[in-house]
Amino acid sequence: MYYTSDWHIHCEGSYDASLTVPHILQKAEEYGITELGITDHVNAPSWITYLKKSRELFDANRRPGFHFGVELTTQSKPLFDYAVKNGGAEELWLLRRVPNRFDPYQGYELPLTEEELRSLKVEYVIGGVHWPCFAPYTREDIIKDYSLQNLYLACDPRVDIVAHPWDFDCAWQNENGIFDTLPWYDNFEAIPHSVHEEFAAAMKENGKCMEWNLCFIVGRQYPEAFKRRYAEYVREMFELGVPITLGSDAHDEYPNCQDAVQEMACRVGFEPQDFARPSFRAYEE
């Protein structure tokens, strides 16, 4: 098997997934995955309830090589403070889609504290950027906002893996006033190279891993040219000294990506031993 680990999987404990843990473990064994972890979404402070459910599912299905993680989403710091002040209702995270609800670039926050992570014995944390934090819908502003969120994750001590860099749930308004699909899928070079270098330096300094999300290889309808260019980007980050982990980001089906990953990874010079595993928090049983 070309790769044997998967550090980004969502089970039925997540608000947007349906995979059962026994099914994940069965399919992982069939596909040659010997080390893996469930990492269900926590997008707002109150979503710790989802993580508690994930913990119960994990405890009921423990086995060697199976780990308990979480995926935390960056939020605008003013939105986070608003959610905490107003009780942290689940619905507050939807405010992210309201343009200019808060001024952009006022800082970021993650929804759970280190104490909360330890209370549920979370072994590792994936930090992910999923949407703009009230940045204007121009290509340049969205790139700036995404870069700042990436740097925040690279420097936050709670984060072990930065998830799917440059994957984004956002459109941008082009020069003709039309909302295009996503800000850099037509041209990855729209992101200045200095942004990648700054991100790599922060990742190295803080001992973070960067995820190569397998959705960039299979699963989503990204342009083939973008998939190839993204693979080159991952390789460049690796050569700059950033450890690379793999994650399927599975939600409703656990995919067998062995052949596709091998083809794309070998194309840019990766060997199976090049892929990393995160550092794990240790807990007494």
Statement: residue 100 has pLDDT above 60: no
Statement: residue 102 has pLDDT above 70: no
Residue 122 DSSP symbol? -
Q: How confident is the model at residue 99 (pLDDT cuts 50, 70, 90)?
A: very low
* 251 in Cβ contact with 17 (< 8 Å): yes
Q: Is residue 94 part of a domain?
A: yes
Statement: residue 103 has pLDDT above 70: no
Structurally, the chain folds into a number of domains equal to 1
Mean pLDDT across the stretch 41-56? 92
Domain hosting residue 135, numbered range: 5-274
**Residue 198: which CATH number?**
3.20.20.140
In this structure, what are the phi and psi dihedrals at residue 253, rounded to the nearest 5 degrees? Answer: -150, 135
Strands 35-42 and 172-173: unpaired
Q: Is residue 179 part of a domain?
A: yes
Statement: residue 81 has pLDDT above 90: no
What are 183-229's pLDDT values in tens digits? 788 889 999 999 999 999 999 999 999 999 999 999 677 888 999 99
pTM: 0.93
Mean pLDDT across the stretch 51-61? 97
Q: Is residue 279 part of a domain?
A: no
The Cα 145–Cα 133 span in angstroms is 7
CA distances, 213 to each of 92, 192, 254 (Å): 27, 21, 14
Q: Is residue 115 part of a domain?
A: yes
Q: Is residue 140 part of a domain?
A: yes
Q: Is residue 137 part of a domain?
A: yes
Q: How many degrees, rounded to 5, is the angle at CA 244 between CA 262 and CA 186?
A: 75
Statement: residue 87 has pLDDT above 90: no
Q: Is residue 281 part of a domain?
A: no
Q: Is residue 70 part of a domain?
A: yes
